[in-house]
Each structure stands twice: as C-alpha cells, then as structure tokens.
Amino acid sequence: MNVLSLTAKQIAELVLTGSLSPVDVVEAYLDRAKRLNPKINAFITIAEEQARRSAEELEKRLRKGFSGKFVGVPVAVKDVISTKGIETTCASRVLKGYIPPYDATVIRRLKAEGAIVMGKTNMDEFAMGSSTELSAYGPTRNPWNLERVVGGSSGGSGASVAARMAPIALGSDTGGSIRCPAAFCNIVGLKPTYGTVSRYGLISYACSLEQIGPMTLDVDDCALLMEVITGKDGFDSTMIDYKFKWTPREVKGLRLAVPKEFFGEGTDERVVDKVWTIIKLLESQGAVYEEISFPLARYVLACYYIIAMSEASSNLARYDGVRYGFPCDLSSPWYDSYSKVRGEGFGVEVKRRIILGCFALSAGYYGRYYLKALKLRTMIRDHVLSILKNFDVIVTPTTPFPPFKIGERIEDPLALYMADVDTVVANLAGVPAISVPAGFVDGLPVGAQFMANYCHEDLLLTIAKCIQDETKFHTKVPEEARL
C-alpha cells in the first residue's frame, strides 16, 4: 500500500484501525516533500521536527483510545495562517523570522481531530497576487508543467496537494485565491460563506473579503475538512452561528444559472468548451440550466480591487518595525526608520496596493473611489442574491484561461488581475463558491466554478460530487507526482 495515493479520509480510517502508524504516514510525506520541493517550491517551511514530534505524541494518545476525523493526516498550511512554534512569513521579507506564539482557530480545531501540521506553503506576498510568482521566496511551479504558474495566492497549498506532497491543505481566499490554484492544479477548492470559518489567526489583507477554506484531492475530503473548521468562535466577532454538515443527494431538479458575460470576450474558447461540457453533464443527470445576463460583470474587478487595496493599506500599517516587521533603527528619525523597514520589507506588488489603497481612501478621493466601490458592491451582492432566488447555483469558468507561463504576465499588473475576473464576485457578495476539475486543455487543468446562496455549501459539494463521479478527473496525477 502506497500511503501517498490515499485520501485524507482513507488515511485516518487506516490509522484508527491500526493498519497505519502516524509516524509512517508523516515520514512518507516528509520524504516526498523534501524530494519535490526543490523543483516545485510549494513549501516555504517544511516543519520536519514538529511534524515528527506530533506524530510520536499522537501514537501515544492513540494507545490511550484517542479518536478523530483526521487522525495522522498531514496538512499543509498557507503561510498566512498562524501556527504556534512554526515560522509564519506571509511570503514576505518583513515577517521573516516571525514565530507566532499561538495557533489560529482552524489549526487548533484540526489538531484536536488528530491532524499534523507538516509545513507552511508558498504564496503571493501577503496574499496579493494571482499566480504565486510574487513571493519573496520565489515562484511556485505547477506540477502539471513546471514552466507554468500554479495560480494564486494559495498556489503553494494547491501544488502541495496536486503533487501528493500533502493529502489536504488550507488556503485563504480574498478574491479567488483558493479557487484559482485549485483550477490550475486539478484539485477541489472551496471558499466558504463569509463568517462561517474563523479568521482568528489569519494575517489580514482585506478583512471584509477573505476567508480560510479547504483544498483537497476529492470532494469527500473537502466536506470532512469543512465539518472540522466551521463553527462559531469567540475570537472572531464577524462569525455567524453555522456548522457545516453534508448529506450527498442527487442533482436532479437543480437549477443552474449560466451568466453569458463570464463566457464571452477575454475567456479562452477552450475553457468555455470544457465548462459547457460540465453543464451538459449535469443536465444529463437531471439538472436544468438557463442562460442569463449579469450586466454588472464589467465592473466587478474594479470594484474588488478598490476595496481590497483600501483595506490592505489599512491592515498593513502595522508593519512599521515597532509593532511588526524587522526592528527599525531607533537612532534615526521615525519617518526614516519606517521608510527603511517598509521599503526593504515589502515587495513591489504590496507597495503598489498600499499606495493605491491610500489614494482611494484619501480625503479628496474617498467619495470618488472607495465610497462608490462600496455602493457598487451592494448592487453586485443584491444582483447575485436576486439570481439565487430563482436558481440554485451560478456556473462560470473558475479562470478565463488555463495556467500561463511563469513571467508571462508579471510585468503587466492589469493582465495578472484578470485571472480573478470570474472569482471576485463571490467575495464581494460573501457567498460560497467552489472550483471543481473540469478537464484539460493541452495537458493543463481547467476548473468550473459554482456559486450558491449563503450557507449552501452542501449544494456545491453535491454538484461537485456528481461531476467527480462522472468524470474521474480527480484521479489523474501530474507527471511530476507519479508515485
């Protein structure tokens, strides 16, 4: 039995029956991660020592009767989520050497179910990017083609799962950062309803948009991970009282809305064909679809980036060398020290977003940009909810194109932002959305995205399960990860 070919659910079941030991599982994944990471660069930190220690402690607890949903399962964690005793950098020089003294709530809940943190994954700096090229630790490469990007900003988490360097991973999704790498890596990625997963311990980029969520090889692991990480948390005042539970059902009778604007200009025809194949598949299983219009689609990207950059400029003010960041020179004037810390600590994209966010929030332009974006966000949310009154889900491509070459768009920020054009709607509206493998274009994965009403993740997983069972795309393994 090759443990690396198992899902998280299968690993936990075998550990509980005594057929596998947590130490053997961890050693297998650590060995693979150490061998592949020099090529793929999925991990910033492989927490070898901590993972081994956790596995040994878990074995002792198992002998005393301990049980859990993720017993002995290694989990890769995006480097923006705090992990006690493990360096957390947000892929930025400014946080190099920072070791949180506490676990994020999601990590605490996973550990309570027997999961083992095996490392921190690469990402765009402070989650600002769409390709995982904007990391102070270098780009992550796509296991399906090492010359291609992996999607962002949770690209390291996506690559680690696709390359079987970890059976499951956690990402964070501010404008598609879980779903884009899921699509580019041929895995399942879910952005939960805003407020259903605690953000305590998530290092903030844009508080009103971001959400922690699962990235997994299959739908069953995604559902199991959601069961563990959802639920009210006293450390996060923005949460709603919701606990995820999923019972699979048929898709027969489900109503799909297909907004034509997300299949038009700027979207690769080969991607459109693959997503329509998925829609037709669902129709053959009893779902019904209708093409609709989403006239606000042309404004979603501008609206998203004004709000996200404004919130980023506020959230990142704390990295001044006094509160966070490497120590400033106290012998210099404060403004020189601040400038040095932030100038040397942040990368070019982070600086760009801070400057644009400060501009949008400035006294002379607040009404022209930020306030207008907030009003537009309300209109977009209302339009999404009005569609979901008549339909169960909205279907779009996850990204408008397949994985592009590393460096191809890096000099043109607007071209890079276009990767998020299909996904930001869900973050602006706060609704859940999932990316499901939808096939391949020239050997590269593409994804189909489904959005549902608040707390209807069960519908999304029902549709994803149907697609998974009918296509088996999730069983395909990239050449770099052949076992």
The catalytic residues are: 78, 153, 177
For residue 21, give both structure tokens: 């030991």
Residue 261 contacts residue 226 (beta carbons within 8 Å): no
Question: Which long-range contacts link 268-272 to residues 24+ away (Cβ below 8 Å)?
Answer: 268/400, 268/401, 268/402, 268/441, 270/402, 270/441, 270/442, 270/446, 271/397, 271/399, 271/400, 271/401, 271/402, 271/441, 271/446, 272/397
φ/ψ bin of 151: left (φ > 0), alpha (ψ from -120 to 50), beta (otherwise): left
Q: How many CA atoms lie within 13 A of 62 on its CB side?
A: 26
